[in-house]
Copies of this chain bind each other. A is one copy, B any other.
Amino acid sequence: MISIKDIAKKAGVSISTVSYALNRSSKVTEETASRILAIAKELNYVPNAAARNLKRRETKIIGAFLTDYNGVFYGDLLQGMKEVLNKNGYDLIVCSGKQSHRLLPEKMIDGAIVLDALFSSEELLLHADRGHKLVVLDRELIHPNINQVLLDNKAGAGLAVEYLIEQGHRKIYIVTGPPDSFDSNQRLQAVKQTIDRNQPIECISIQGKFDKLSGEQAAHQIMQDYTEPVAVFCLNDEMSIGMYNAVQKSDFRIGEHIHLIGFDNMELTQYTQPRLATIDYSKHKWGSIASEQLLKLIACEEVDQERIYVTLIQGDSVHPV
């Protein structure tokens, strides 16, 4: 490996002069600097990150921790993060799985954005206690080193239920996420409030896991108990698509017997027949705001709470009853 020592030798100067030159310090003559830079280029010099990080005590890398790589959902989110980070001289790396958590305490990254229910809050708080800066997208955590950028779940769930009610539905199934999911619980809470305000409504909740299979299973239960047209609010699109798949294989029809709405506006929902109603929000904005907040935390700037707003996407999966 070629180091500043080699450049120094070849240029006939000391390593500190080389270091200054490479870091564009004004402490060195324009002349010697350009000579050193030329030699560096000639020798294909690339600074060693480990050595630099050791001294600087920062890596200029931010980690995004996701549950998995099924980026159907994550593409825009990560793009939003990356654009902001790159603009500020940081790189983004995407990680998944418990094994990669080490990157934070070992100081391979300067901060993390977390959207992964499998990353426990205890662990996150521990890291925050040790001085690491975090932004979380899927929970509320009160800590000076942690900021949260959350979806306006309550508004979204309210919009969805109100839409069903406006269309005349009075029997509504709710397919929830896992009991420990922050998003699921927030949405569920808003659902209950909205329904309470619009009594009488028959509301039946079915526990799901935010995955396709849950949606299929819920569909089977609903079809088994079927007596009259019903509305279903799946608390995410993944389950909504699972339900769509299951219903497609039956004699029931989405938008006729089963009126369906989801949450997330996954691209796929616009390709189903009929189009699945859902709740939309800008994933790109979500990512970029998360990055901005993290950079503020790192810079020890004042940072307030940001929220991501949502809108209703109507679809033929919901018709008036």
Contact = CB atoms under 8 A, between A and B. Distances in A.
A48 B47 CA distance: 19
Contacts of A68: 75, 79
Contacts of A103: 49, 91, 93
A213 interface: no
A299 interface: no
Contacts of A69: 71, 74-75, 77-79, 82, 94
Contacts of A241: 271
A44 B93 CA distance: 25
Interface string A54-83: 100001010100001111101101110010
Contact of A108 (B49, B78, B268, B271): B49
A99 interface: yes
A229 interface: no
Nearest to A105: B46
Interface in A74-102: 74-75, 77-79, 82, 86, 91-97, 99-100, 102
Size band of the interface chain A makes with B: 35 or more
A50 interface: yes
Contacts of A54: 48, 50-51, 54
A53 interface: yes
B74 A106 contact: no
Nearest to A48: B107
A107 B50 contact: yes
A57 to B, nearest CB: 8
Given A49-B106, A49-B108, A108-B108, 13 more contacts: A46-B106, A48-B54, A49-B50, A49-B103, A50-B50, A50-B51, A69-B94, A70-B71, A71-B71, A71-B74, A72-B72, A93-B103, A94-B94
Given A71-B72, A268-B267, A100 B106 contact: no
A99 to B, nearest CB: 5
